[in-house]
Amino acid sequence: MLGLRDIKKQNNPQKFDFEIALAGNPNVGKSTVFNALTGLKQHTGNWSGKTVTNAIGYYKFREYTLKVVDLPGTYSLSSNSDEEVISNDYIESGSASCIIVVVDATNLERNLNYVLQLLSKTQKVVLCLNMYDEAKSKGISIDIDELSLQLGVPVVCTSATKGHGLNELKKSSFDIASGKTKTYKTINLTKSDDYSLRIEQIYNQCTNICSSCIKSNNEEHSSNKNRIDKIMTNKITGLPIMLILLCLIFWITIVGANFISEYLSLLFNYIKGVLYSLFTTFNLNDVISDFLINGVFTTLSWVVAVMLPPMAIFFPLFSLLEDSGYLPRIAFNLDSCFYKVGAHGKQSLTMAMGFGCNSCGVIGCRIIDSQREKNIAIITNSFIPCNGKLPTLIAITSILLTNIVCGFLKTIVTALILLLLILLAVGITLLTSKLLSMTILKGQKSSFMLELPPYRKPQFIKTVVYSLKDRAWFVLLRAVVVAIPAGAVIWCMANLNINNISLLNYATTFLDPIGKFFGLDGVILIALLLGFPANETVIPIMLMAYSSSGTMIEYNSITQLNNILTSNGWTTIRAICFLLICMFHFPCSTTCLSIYKECKSIKLTALSMVIPTVIGLVMCLLVNMIGTIFI
């Protein structure tokens, strides 16, 4: 029972009086209830030994402190998946003094399957009938007292997004936890070896309970919502809407991030100046000062300035899209493409997440149930360029277009080329998925099942705030853990000299012939290798190597970058090859670590690094060969 040990031994063990758990189906508003109860006093992590998210928070009721554990949302409490095993173990351990089972009032019959399974294991339960307002507006009327009688537990109606019913929920759960309210066992489930038979009989009981508790059920209202879905998923309007929405999100991310990045860069430059004068005042050794400022701090500031703004924009937008209920429709629409290559429709979503950050995309692959299809999604995730690679791609594309277009037209053409590159990435992803399905990851195609929750208006401010908090923490952590050692190594390579030539120079000269073979050069290769910790540092490393300056420098304009590159032998072909190898090479260190954590296989992690690199090199070789023949 590893999961339990993890909860009992926390980093900051806060004292609490009672432990409460939140359980229920996915898409019932469990997270909303959790957030409403605990506010920002929560901590998200993983269940020990498993790759399932676990959230723990605290709230106060009168003078008591209650600890809330958010169990994974599952449709059942058998032991068919990691999530179910965790929930089961936890419930049977008796750690919780009260379990709040959150139920979607608009969908009571299906939710009762979970509730009845829960009630057969423990009676210390409060039924939280969430989305109650929504049910009422749909004409669904539930007899609360009758439901409570039949289940033997208290029932509290809530509308967590509006904040209704939370106080009653706190009181009810406290009463159960403290023993003030007693519940009684009313549910008996038959034990059968045939799983389908067992669930069938549970559903028979659910139907009976519902027929005596649900007074009226207006089905006509739902046909209006179906109309929206018919527009979102039909042949003519479905694809354009999807493309426009995704392009819009990408565009807002790129433009907004650019804007914020510039200001962050100014801030970091200012801090750099302050550090410089500080070190000079304290007479710190020149070499150490240079190491700290130009090595460590510069890398740190690059990583934060480049990664934080796009992630701060993209992921909140993505979360809003998720809360609105639209995301499953994307998987629904695109499933055919993925099914034909042996993958899963949900891979479209993990690819979209990979655009924000490859590491997050890899972790997001948890939404795919079949291990084989999950592995395909994980290995191909890094084909989609992440936010860290975007400034690099945009800068080099801009340079390629320098003598061809200019001004406003240039920004449009740059955007179109970027779109083309992303479409190329998608194409390569599908092709690679097909190849993997036919060779290394051969296996059965899973049966697909996806719930399409009703469209709901997301809680804008709350979603954005929670997402920002998570993302900012992630980037800053990565900046410290990855950027600092990376900066140290890069500085050493550039400033440690043997016979007056830096290690960096030795490396670039050594790799140059190999680079030239693929249409690149030694500097590009070393920049990609040293950029393994963080892709954002590739161009600064290149500039450092070209200018032999010993420090990573930024470019102040595209013209300046263009000059440096052309004076170092860059041609159109090399720029194109660079774009290709930048997109198709081994993922960054954070992503590789995530890949290992998610599939626990060195073989798969190695494949995830080798496959993109091989594809990139092959493409470069082809472009180089074709280019040298025709130009």
Partner 1 sequence: MNSISLDKVKFGEMSVVTEIDINNFRLYDIGIVRGSVITPLFKSMFGDTVAFRIKGSIIALRKDDCKKIKVKLLL
Contacts with partner 1, residue ranges (CB under 8 A):
75-76, 78, 80, 106-110, 113, 195-196, 199-200, 203-204, 206, 222, 226, 229-230, 233-235, 238-239, 328, 332-337, 339, 345, 369, 446-454
**Least separation in angstroms between CB 111 and partner 1:** 9
Nearer to partner 1, 231 or 496 (CB): 231
- Which tokens belong to 360? 């997050």
Q: How many angstroms separate the most distant Cα atoms in the chain? A: 89
Measured between alpha carbons, how far is 372 from 229 in angstroms, rounded to an integer?
A: 30
Nearer to partner 1, 13 or 240 (CB): 240
Nearer to partner 1, 65 or 78 (CB): 78
CA angle 202, 204, 210 (to 5 degrees): 105
**Least separation in angstroms between CB 192 and partner 1:** 12
Burial classification of residue 448, based on how many CB atoms lie within 10 Å of its CB (0-12 exposed, 13-18 middle, 19 or more buried):
middle
Nearer to partner 1, 370 or 624 (CB): 370
User: Which residues are paired to 156 by β-bridges?
Assistant: 128
CA angle 449, 455, 460 (to 5 degrees): 120
Measured between alpha carbons, how far is 28 from 454 in angstroms, rounded to an integer?
A: 11
Closest CA to 206 of 220, 184, 187, 185: 187
Write the CB contacts of 286 (distance below 8 Å, at least 6 apart in sequence). none
Question: Which amino acid, 46?
Answer: N
401-405: long-range pairs with CB below 8 Å, 24+: 402/558, 402/559, 402/562
Nearer to partner 1, 286 or 451 (CB): 451
Nearer to partner 1, 265 or 446 (CB): 446
**Least separation in angstroms between CB 533 and partner 1:** 39
**Least separation in angstroms between CB 333 and partner 1:** 5
Question: Which amino acid, 188?
Answer: N
**Least separation in angstroms between CB 205 and partner 1:** 12
Is residue 29 within 8 Å of 323, Cβ to Cβ? Answer: no
Closest CA to 138 of 162, 105, 165: 105
Is residue 28 within 8 Å of 48, Cβ to Cβ? Answer: no
**Least separation in angstroms between CB 225 and partner 1:** 9
Closest CA to 389 of 416, 433, 422: 422
Is residue 348 within 8 Å of 482, Cβ to Cβ? Answer: no
Q: 259-290: string of b/e by CB count within 10 Å (b at 16+)?
A: eebeebbeebeeeeeeebeebeeeebeeeebb
Measured between alpha carbons, how far is 432 from 619 in angstroms, rounded to an integer?
A: 14
**Least separation in angstroms between CB 228 and partner 1:** 10
**Least separation in angstroms between CB 366 and partner 1:** 15
Measured between alpha carbons, how far is 588 from 388 in angstroms, rounded to an integer?
A: 10
**Least separation in angstroms between CB 370 and partner 1:** 10
Nearer to partner 1, 122 or 217 (CB): 217
Count the Cβ atoms, other than its own, within 10 Å of residue 372.
19
Nearer to partner 1, 205 or 601 (CB): 205
**Least separation in angstroms between CB 329 and partner 1:** 9
**Least separation in angstroms between CB 435 and partner 1:** 22
Nearer to partner 1, 115 or 523 (CB): 115
Nearer to partner 1, 454 or 627 (CB): 454
Is residue 533 within 8 Å of 482, Cβ to Cβ? Answer: yes
**Least separation in angstroms between CB 479 and partner 1:** 39
Measured between alpha carbons, how far is 229 from 329 in angstroms, rounded to an integer?
A: 8
**Least separation in angstroms between CB 190 and partner 1:** 14
Looking only at the bridges linking them, the beta strands covering 64-70 and 18-24 are parallel
- Which tokens belong to 383? 């084909």
Nearer to partner 1, 102 or 311 (CB): 102
Query: What's the distance, CA 379 to chain centroid?
Result: 15
Nearer to partner 1, 30 or 389 (CB): 30
Closest CA to 495 of 288, 269, 297, 302: 288
**Least separation in angstroms between CB 81 and partner 1:** 8
**Least separation in angstroms between CB 20 and partner 1:** 25
Nearer to partner 1, 403 or 447 (CB): 447
User: Which residues are paired to 104 by β-bridges?
Assistant: 130
- Residue 451 backbone dihedrals phi, psi, to 5 degrees: -90, 135
Nearer to partner 1, 452 or 564 (CB): 452
Nearer to partner 1, 234 or 277 (CB): 234
Measured between alpha carbons, how far is 546 from 592 in angstroms, rounded to an integer?
A: 29
Closest CA to 345 of 360, 328, 363: 328
- Residue 519 backbone dihedrals phi, psi, to 5 degrees: 85, 10
